[in-house]
Structure 1
């Protein structure tokens, strides 16, 4: 028996037998032709972060070279222009950190360590990872999803 793949297509679900080469080709084509819906800028999801106290966490920015500062400013402008972020007047402030990537470029990160010490952790149990891996044992295709670039890579086993 071959594993099946469940795909939601515009409010209906399609199930595909991964052992059928016709289905595999159809799935490959859907992945290649996928285009994210960039029109939607907002979500109806609300998140409330519970803290141990009401005192804001404020840290001064880390020193960046002029080249690094320019890269950060360009990224922030790009995100503002795309509506990914919006200006804030929050009393909370955490420093930007540039982390080196494997290809030598830099990734912009935020150092939330001090803030994280004040966060009251939610009690949402995660599934047992071994059970999840067991469910994937006969899978033939894996996809990694990149929120910035949509589907980044697909691997066939």
Structure 2
């Protein structure tokens, strides 16, 4: 029932992910990590998730070996961007209260393929995700 590969960028939805910045921040950019030729080739493969861009923002990317399926997973080190984003501060509920609320609950589990790529980013925030 589920596709093996995603057909490019996520469709337009009512809710989009936004990246709110601390006021007065200038774009952050870090040098890219070195990549082997086969990694550069993998990065350039057209999966529909990546597009050419010109942005003052930039975070380094690297590949990590997938545990089960083999192959490589693209990871972007967004720590420099995280430093300049507005932090959401929500108090964590006490664990005992959570367990009480979950009593008699039924759970289902879905493993979303490439889950990160299924979230649509607000158009004006896309340059902040450059790598």
Using the size of structure 2 for normalisation, the TM-score is: 0.61
Cα separation, partners in 2 of 1:147 and 1:137, compared to 1, 3 Å:
farther
User: How far is 1:78 from its partner?
Assistant: 1.4
Render the CA deviation track for 1:46-82: whole Å, top value 9, x for unaligned: 52412253211111211111111111111xx2125xx
Tell me if the contact between 1:98 and 1:109 (Cα under 8 Å) persists in the aligned partners.
yes
| Runs of at least 5 residues in structure 2 that lack an aligned partner in the other structure | 116-131
Say which structure is richer in strand. Answer: 1
1:70 matches 2:70? no
Tell me if the contact between 1:94 and 1:110 (Cα under 8 Å) persists in the aligned partners.
yes
| Runs of at least 5 residues in structure 1 that lack an aligned partner in the other structure | 1-32, 150-157
Higher Cα Rg: structure 1 or 2? 1
Corresponding residue for 1:17? none
Aligned length: 109
Tell me if the contact between 2:27 and 2:56 (Cα under 8 Å) persists in the aligned partners.
yes
For residues 84-99 of structure 1, the aligned pairs below 5 Å read: 86-99=51-64
Using the size of structure 1 for normalisation, the TM-score is: 0.53
Cα separation, partners in 2 of 1:100 and 1:128, compared to 1, 3 Å:
farther
Determine which structure has greater relative contact order: mean sequence separation of CA pairs < 8 Å that are 6+ residues apart, divided by chain length. Answer: 2
- Aligned-residue Cα RMSD (Å) equals 3.2
- 2:35, 2:12 → 1: CA distance? 31
